[in-house]
Amino acid sequence: MVIGGFQPVTLLDYPQKVAAIIFTSGCNMRCPFCYNYKLVLPEHLDKEKSFEEKQILSFLKKRKKYLDGLVITGGEPTIQNDLPSFLGEVKEMGYSVKLDTNGLLPEVLKKLISQKLIDYIAMDIKGPLGEYSKYCGIEDTSNIKESIALVMNSDLSYEFRTTFAKGLHSIEDAVKIGKDIKGAELYFLQGFRDEPTLNPKARLVGFTPAEMEKMRMQCEKFVKKCSIR
């Protein structure tokens, strides 16, 4: 795998777990509000700061006494061809694995679920499915819909989440997304932060706390639990 970043410990990114985080390089989407553009765009990849799989596995083996889980994020982890074999080694150590994904490759997601290589799925919903190209450049959302169904029927712990950026999203988008994932166990609304992004010319800002709460109240009609993160 191409690993562009590594965080040895986090108490926030894996619910109820003390975990490490792997950031894979490369992505099959181009979201203008993406903070991790240095992992997404090949020209920003610093090979001198990348990590070898064996380095990560060695660290995890030594730290098993102190860590419960591993978060694998990106970029988009599912584009890594050797992701299943890598996670197989991680699972053999006894780690719980959380996968962050955009859901564009449901065939990979299905394999990871069926082979019991992941324990928690966090899937990003970029915007209403009927207008997806506006948010990430993807016209055909059939794969996204398939992944949503896979996640909801997987018997694994999961969450859906959307980063809302004013100038790209609207308050009404929250209702549309709620309908797209109707019946989901958990949906997080994430406020956009004023940080460098993949498209700095997009002139995006965050919604106010009151606006975020309005969206949350509208969304909770469609999902079992809706929270602001």
pLDDT category of residue 95 using cuts at 50, 70 and 90? very high
- Residue position matching structure tokens 């994430």: 190
Mean of the per-residue pLDDT values of the chain: 93
- Give me the amino acid identity at 156: L
Q: pTM to 2 decimals?
A: 0.94
> According to the model, what pLDDT value does residue 193 have?
87
Predicted local distance difference test score (pLDDT) of residue 32:
85
Confidence of residue 203 (pLDDT cuts 50, 70, 90): confident
Q: What is the mean pLDDT of residues 17-31?
A: 94
Q: Which of 198, 137, 207 is nearest to 167 (CA)?
A: 207
- Please, what are the domains in the chain? 3-161 (3.20.20.70)
pLDDT digits (tens, 9 = 90+) for 124-154: 999 999 999 999 989 999 999 999 999 999 9
Q: Residues 33-49: what's their mean pLDDT?
A: 73
The pLDDT score that the predictor gives to residue 127 is 97
